[in-house]
Structure 1
Amino acid sequence: MMEGFDRKWNKNSTTNPTATYTNLSHGEYQFLVRGIDKDKVSQARKLTIIIHPPWYKTNIAKVFGGLLAFLITFAGFQLYKQTFRRIEVEKMNEKKMQFFINISHEIRTPLSLIIDPLEKLISLPSNAENQRLFGIMHQNANRIFRLINQLMDVRKLDKGKMLVKFQETDLCSFISNIAESYNYLATSKEITLEVIKEKSTIKAWIDPLNFEKVITNLLSNAFKFTNTGGKITVYISELKRSAQIIVEDNGIGIKKTDSEKIFNRFYQVNSKETRNITGTGIGLHLSRSLVELHKGRLFAEPCENITGSRFIIQIPLGNKHLVKEDLITSENMLPAPSQAFLDIPTSSKLQNTPSKPQSTYKIMVVEDELEIRNYLVEELKPLYKVIAFENGKQAHSCLLKEMPDLILSDIMMPEMDGITFCKKVKNHIETNHIPIILLTALSKEEDKAEGIETGADMYLIKPFSTNFLKKSIVNLLENRNKIFNKWKNKNEKYELDPIDIQSHDEILIQKVMTIIRDNISNNDLNVEMLADGVGISRVHMHRKLKEITNQSARDLIKNVRMKQAAYILVNKKINVSEVAYSLGYSSLSHFSTTFKSYYGISPKEYAEQEQNNTQTEQS
């Protein structure tokens, strides 16, 4: 019997005096053996058996396993904390970015009323001191504008919507021109600014508009952190496979521990030297992101032997590393970049050919900001008859009464915003021909797309130039007169709008109108049916109708049906439901809703009103 394992004695015969145990756990056992002869039982003999545990069940293994489990748990907890902290930092950065963008939108409107009038003052004759003061104001106003644009650029980079177009550029002349625009700032701060070029010409493929932002940010930082009497040097050189630009200053410098952190978004060095220097903390982050779009790198390091810092840009030579679709050749070069600090404009620079007076035209201004509304009215009043409203609801209520030739509207307004107002204008038969210019501080691509999709003819971002706005108004009015003619008198109420078209376009319109007339009662009449009948693609049909009639195929079909409905209601003695079904409407409510959106009243009210007018005229 095995004590601790067997509960009773096991009997074996003398022919098989063995005991076998195969499933003993580790530990100490006592094996007892005794003999039995009839009724006699011998004294039990005892054998001590010790079974050692496997290595993984030893005490040392248990301690090690517990320690390992603790370390894994601790590491997992730390990883969770870091992930949670990273998510919280990302959320906080997103909130900061959204806050800055919201503030930027608010700043754009008053900035419009600073830059544009200031440019007008600069263009006027004045003494040298006034010109100097105006120049300082103009430079700082543009600095605010650049900061706003930096915030927008960071958002575009986050969304992957930053547009880059590369062209071969001489870095030496490109950077020298930017540096020259800082001469006034260098003189005022008594700082020496020098550009050292290894060669007279170093060609590289860059996006001038975005790369200028990088150089501007680095130079602005250098001036910000360099004391009076200091020196800033820009080195331009060519390495084996890349071009290198170094912006070096002998300012307060940076620590090695901060050389990477300064490129983090919103990071600012906290030291007694930088405590009184303010900034947004996004300039270097944006600069590195833009350099990386050029497949290059931007890094910082302390200056050797002297106090100061060096920012180094390295971008590959040639264009094999770039996407072919992003390259721009000499046939379609981008415009030259704007300068970081603009020269004080003279009257000759800002003189524009005055727009031809159009006193017969009426412009509707819709803007909730009193100052900018009054400013627009004063600027346009010498050229046009101007009416102004503070929101879309007020403007829409007077739209049919005033019938302006062009609408100038803000987007963000109380009661009815500009997008809703634009939709209502473009969906009404009497007003869908009116050009609309949207003015807004919203500069995201999706905002622009939404504005254009509603039918707006132009989308201007604040701050804007009134000279550009005036010329845009002239062009829109002239172009609209070429492609669309309004009804001339009441007798043409039920006729289609006269269209000024060329002979091949006239043939196309005749075919389209024949198909519409023959299928006007067909509920399936649409652009596909028109395209199939004429023998062109759906996209081509839509584009041609838009060019010729300024209407989509759907709107053209709707216009014809509504005019035909108005004619039948007045001249035929049939009820509204019969009119609806005869014009391809399977739903009476849909017909009534569409009719009311075009004429402002229901079909029944329209018929009664026209009959009353006819009786009044006859009497």
Structure 2
Amino acid sequence: MTAQLLGQHLGASRCAYAHVEADQDHFELFGDYNDGVPSIVGRYAFSDFGTVVRDLMRADRVYINHDVDHDPRTAGSDLSAYRATRIQSVVCVPLHRDGRFVAGMAVHQAQPRTWQEQEIRLVQSVVARCWESLERLRAEGALRDANQRLSLALAAGNLGDWSWDAATDQMTLSDVAARLYGLAPGSSWTRSAMRRLLHRDDREPARLAALWAAQTGGLYDIEYRVPRPDGQRWVAVQGKPTFARDGTLTGMIGVVRDITERRAADERARNETQMLELLNQTGAALAAELDIDTLLQRVTDAATQLTQARFGAFFYNGTDEQGEAYLLYALSGAPQAAFERFGHPRPTALFGPTFKGGPLIRSDDITQDPRYGQWGPHHGMPPGHLPVRSYLAVAVSSRTGEVFGGLFFGHPDVGVFDERAERLAMGIAGQAGIAIDNARLYADVQRASALKDEFLATLSHELRTPLSAILGWVHILRRKYPTPDADLRKGIDVIERNARAQTQLIEDLLDMSRITSGKLELQMQPLDPRAFVEAAVETIRPTAQVKGVGLQCVLDAAAGRVAGDPVRLQQVVWNLLSNAVKFTPRGGAVQVRMALVDGSIEIGVSDTGIGIRPELLSLIFDRFRQGDGSITRRFGGLGLGLAIVRQLVELHGGTVHARSAGEGAGSDFLVRLPAQTVSGAAVDLAHTVPTAASAELAGLRVLVVDDEADARELLQLLLTDYGAQVLLADGAEAALQAIAEQRPDVLVSDIGMPGVDGYELLRRARAQGAALPAIALTAFASADDRVRALRAGYRAHVAKPVEPAEIVATIVSAVGR
């Protein structure tokens, strides 16, 4: 309408009002007045009409062009936009607000026209008034929309709105708000009168909350109870105070909603949470207990306390000669003597079902319960019995349904137990059944573990003995035939390679056994950690190169020394590096670092591989765990590597931890070892490296005792080769006779011999007065076997299959040469 009036007044071809976009170039015409020219409603850019008009608009200056064909600013330039819109002359007036070009008014003429000053001022006046009118209309529309949205939101949220006039104390309530307070819609109430509708205990807190909001301008936010004829309701009220320009309080506006169901749900949730916390605490305590007696007492005590019973008892499921007695196993809240005069529970309709695994039984007053009182001779409770009125009983069963017994609870008052007590009793009974199952399973597992360890030790012994002969003969053949032909050399190589492979398999098998027993043999000595770290790195480097994984080593040369077994510590680093390379894809990187930190040698292995899920970080060092089954299938392995790492590190007095931000984020393993040294005396004789000088046994008489003829013959050939005079015995009796008659210089004896074993042989030899040094050469190769041999008096313990240089060096060390 404004554009039409202005256009007609000026006799213009077109008049249009434009909304300018944020780039202050593009604009949109939503309507225009036209006389003899087409409408140009749509979206345009000022720059399409030349940069002059765009720059003038941005500078808040009027653009006047009397004739685009003769105006030097447009003549000769691209006039396609003017031609398309039928503009020959134009006045364009910008409107700026807050320093920005936001709107404009344009008057067009299809012919050349000389615009007069008063015409231009008129356009400027109209554009300002047009902006104000449009803004007012937009504000009114926005207010209507906001009110509509508010009404919809209040209705959707079942919210009532209210207002309070501070001058009159009058409350204005919407229909929804009135109903929440139990009032008729449209009724008139003052705030003071409405306060009396609140629960007595909530009136003062509500008054103080409103006073605080009025004084501070803060939010009035409170929940309170409203007693109504149809029952009490909880409501939540929020409001905001309003003020005059001089700061005087004028009133308050706000909303109210019914939260009765939410409060009831919160209360139920709190009760459930409390109950679950109690059950979790009880379950954790029961899960950690593997002694049945202690377990059942804890179950009874916990259940008695949680159900708020005065007395509680656990009866095992058993019968006497008459078939109606149950064994009292645990009692809480009363001494055992309290039950002695009255015998055990009888298989009545009340007690019997519990021992058969029946459903939970609850009685508000057992003395009036026909399930109990109808049975003689004790109709009701007998005189002097524990004063039980309220009664609760629940069966305790295994996973397979076996009924272990029942939990029984009593209280001298009537109606003490409710549904919550039922749920707690059932929860604890379930936990108790699982805990009893676990205790039994633990005992079974312990027995099975012992049998497995015994089997592995026996299997290892039986495998080591023939391998010792095979490798020994390989050594003899190499010495006898230093330049064999090609076929013989190849045969010896194949035999040795496969025998050593079998030996390594045995070592792996024994490592598994040592892990399950928690014992690993260590040969401690002072070490520069760089040595075993670099050795592990060089061992894994070819694998990393083949896979295309970068391998970086950052070692602090001044870190210091550690006390440790170099082979085992290299195994630790190698295992970590092997895992890192295995689980890092091609193009990834693995880094090993070592430094002295807070008195500890820290060795870290990090990678950019597949990472570890957070829930698996606490499990990956467990035996036979490798993240999950899918990892094992994709990458192979038994999942023993990290378990071995942890055992070895802890035996060295250190710790190992794993970190990962999750799947795909790589992982970081950190080993900490105490920085210290040990004396050279700690090195085991069995691992002393022989030298050329020490490998001479000339003149020594060595007594070899073994029930295996192949083993005796092998040692005779080996030791004779080094110049020893070898005496042979196939058992303890022959050995004792040889010691007494031939006075050997050193004894080399097997341990696992039939009849009299190596331990008893040495004891008898010492009893005869023989003081010769003794060496145990045996297929029993565990750390326990070594300790036992040393405690029995053997100077050293050497495991089969034996390396010739090792047994020679051990003999030399034993006799002190």
The normalised TM-score by structure 1 is 0.50
Partner residue of 1:328? 677
**Identity value in percent:** 23
Asked if the contact 2:464–2:503 (Cα under 8 Å) also holds between the matched residues in 1, the reply is no
What's 1:147 paired with?
A: 508
User: For the Cα contact (< 8 Å) 2:453–2:513, is it kept in 1?
Assistant: no
CA distance in 2 between counterparts of 1:450 and 1:204 reads 30
> For 1:196 and 1:57, how far apart are their aligned partners in 2?
75
Cα contact 1:114–1:141 (8 A) shared by 2: no
Are the structure 2 counterparts of residues 261 and 113 from structure 1 closer, same or farther at C-alpha, using a change threshold of 3 Å? farther
Rate the CA distance shift 1:423–1:212 in 2: closer, same or farther, 3 A.
same
Distance 1:305 1:118 in 2: 50
Shift of 1:236: 4.2
Q: For residue 69 of structure 1, what is the aligned residue in structure 2?
A: 425
Cα distance, 1:290 vs. partner?
3.6
Q: CA distance change for structure 1 residues 350 and 439 in 2, over 3 Å: closer, same or farther?
A: closer
The residue aligned with 1:462 is 800
Give me the whole-angstrom Cα distance separating, in 1, the residues matched to 2:660 and 2:450. Answer: 31
Change (3 A) 1:262 1:367: same
1:440 counterpart (758, 778, 792): 778
Quick one: structure 1 residues 100 and 447, their matched pair in 2 at CA, closer, same or farther if it must change by over 3 Å?
closer
d(CA) in 1 for partners of 2:587, 2:554: 23
Distance in structure 2 (CA, Å) of the matches to 1:121 and 1:260: 52
Q: Give the SS at the match of 1:275.
A: helix
Aligned equivalent of 2:540: 182
Shift of 1:263: 1.4
Q: Cα distance 1:112–1:311, how it changes in 2: closer, same or farther (>3 A)?
A: farther
CA distance in 2, matches of 1:335, 1:288: 23
Stretches of structure 1 lacking an aligned partner (at least 5 in a row): 1-25, 28-52, 320-326, 340-348, 480-619
1:378 paired to 2:717: yes
Alpha-carbon contact 2:775-2:796 (below 8 Å) kept: yes
* Match of residue 121 from structure 2: none
Q: Is contact 1:298–1:311 with CA below 8 Å preserved after alignment?
A: no
Q: In 2, Cα distance between the equivalents of 1:226 and 1:433? A: 58
Structure 2: which amino acid aligns with 1:464? V
Aligned residue number for residue 271 of structure 1: 629
Do the aligned residues in 2 keep the contact of 1:246 with 1:311 (CA within 8 Å)? Answer: yes
Give CA-to-partner distance per residue, 1:20-68, whole Å, 9 cap, x none: xxxxxx99xxxxxxxxxxxxxxxxxxxxxxxxx9x99665844443333
Other-structure match for 2:707: 368
- Which residue is equivalent to 1:421? 761
Whole-Å separation in 2 of the counterparts to 1:451 and 1:65: 61
> Aligned equivalents of 1:224 and 1:416: distance in 2?
50
Quick one: distance in 2 between partners of 1:244 and 1:292?
A: 14
Amino acid at match of 1:147: D
Structure 1 residues 353 and 252, CA gap change in structure 2 (3 angstroms):
farther
Question: What is the letter of the counterpart of residue 312 of structure 1?
Answer: F
Does the 8 Å contact 2:540/2:574 carry over to 1?
no
Q: Please, what is the CA RMSD of the aligned residues?
A: 5.1
Q: Work out which of the residue numbers 731, 737, 760 in structure 2 matches 1:391.
A: 731
2:363 is matched with which residue? none
Equivalent of residue 288 in structure 1, options 624, 642, 646 = 646
Taking the aligned partners of 1:132 and 1:472, their CA distance within structure 2 comes to: 26
Give yes or no for contact 1:100–1:151 (8 Å, CA) kept in 2: no
- The answer to whether 1:109 aligns with 2:455 is no
Structure-to-structure mapping, 1:74-473, within 5 angstroms: 74-113=430-469, 140=501, 143-144=504-505, 147=508, 150-151=511-512, 154=515, 157=518, 171-172=529-530, 174-186=532-544, 189-190=546-547, 192=549, 194-197=551-554, 201-203=558-560, 205=562, 207=564, 209=566, 210-222=568-580, 232-236=590-594, 244-249=602-607, 254-268=612-626, 271-272=629-630, 274-275=632-633, 279=637, 281-292=639-650, 297-301=655-659, 306=664, 310-315=667-672, 327-328=676-677, 352-353=692-693, 355-356=695-696, 358=698, 362-382=701-721, 383-396=723-736, 404-428=744-768, 432-443=770-781, 447-448=785-786, 450-452=788-790, 455-473=793-811
What TM-score do the two structures reach when normalised by structure 2?
0.40
CA distance in 2, matches of 1:254, 1:447: 38
Q: Which amino acid aligns with 1:369?
A: E
Note if contact 1:115-1:141 (Cα within 8 Å) is conserved in structure 2: no
Aligned with 2:629: secondary structure? Answer: coil
Matches of 2:651 and 2:790, distance apart in 1: 29
- Partners of 2:497 and 2:587 lie apart in 1 by 21
* Cα separation, 1, equivalents of 2:469 and 2:475: 11
Q: Distance in 2 between matches of 1:211 and 1:137?
A: 26
Aligned equivalents of 2:430 and 2:599: distance in 1?
47
Between Structure 1 and Structure 2, the one with more helix by share is 1
Deviations 1:204-237 (A, max 9, x none): 7563545333213223444566688876442446
Unmatched segments (≥5 aa) in structure 2? 1-366, 369-389, 391-410
Shift of 1:193: 5.7
Deviations 1:441-487 (A, max 9, x none): 334566445545655454333343322323444565677xxxxxxxx
Please say if residues 106 and 441 of structure 1, whose CA atoms lie closer than 8 Å, have aligned partners that are also in contact. yes
Cα distance in 2 between the residues matched to 1:260 and 1:333: 38
Q: Give the counterpart letter for 1:285 in structure 2.
A: A
Q: Matched residues in 1 for 2:608 and 2:506: separation?
A: 28
Give the Cα separation in 1 of the matches to 2:703 and 2:611: 55
C-alpha contact (below 8 Å) 1:197/1:235 kept by paired residues: yes
- Please list the CA deviations of residues 497-526 of structure 1 after superposition, one character each: whole Å capped at 9, or x if unmatched: xxxxxxxxxxxxxxxxxxxxxxxxxxxxxx
Report the CA distance shift for 1:150/1:370 in structure 2 as closer, same or farther (over 3 A): same
Instruction: Report the Cα distance in structure 2 between the residues aligned to 1:165 and 1:458, rounded to whole angstroms.
Output: 15
Q: Judge conservation of contact 1:202–1:237 (CA < 8 Å) in 2.
A: yes
CA contact (8 A) 2:604 2:668 kept: yes
CA distance 1:458–1:235, change in 2 (3 Å): closer
> Aligned AA for 2:761?
F
Contact 1:296 1:313 in 2 (8 A): no
- Please state how far the C-alpha of 1:413 moved relative to its aligned partner: 1.0
Instruction: Report the CA distance between 1:410 and its aligned residue.
Output: 0.4
Could you tell me how far 1:376 is from its partner in structure 2?
1.0
SS at the partner of 1:195?
strand
State the alpha-carbon separation in 2 of the partners of residues 184 and 206 from structure 1. 29
- In the aligned structure 1, how far is the partner of 2:626 from the partner of 2:664? 22
Q: Shift in Å at residue 74 of structure 1?
A: 2.2
1:62 to 1:356, Cα distance in 2 relative to 1, 3 A: closer
Distance (whole Å) between structure 1 residues aligned to residue 729 and residue 783 of structure 2: 27
Distance 1:335 1:396 in 2: 31
Flag the 1:101–1:260 CA change in 2: closer, same or farther, 3 A: farther
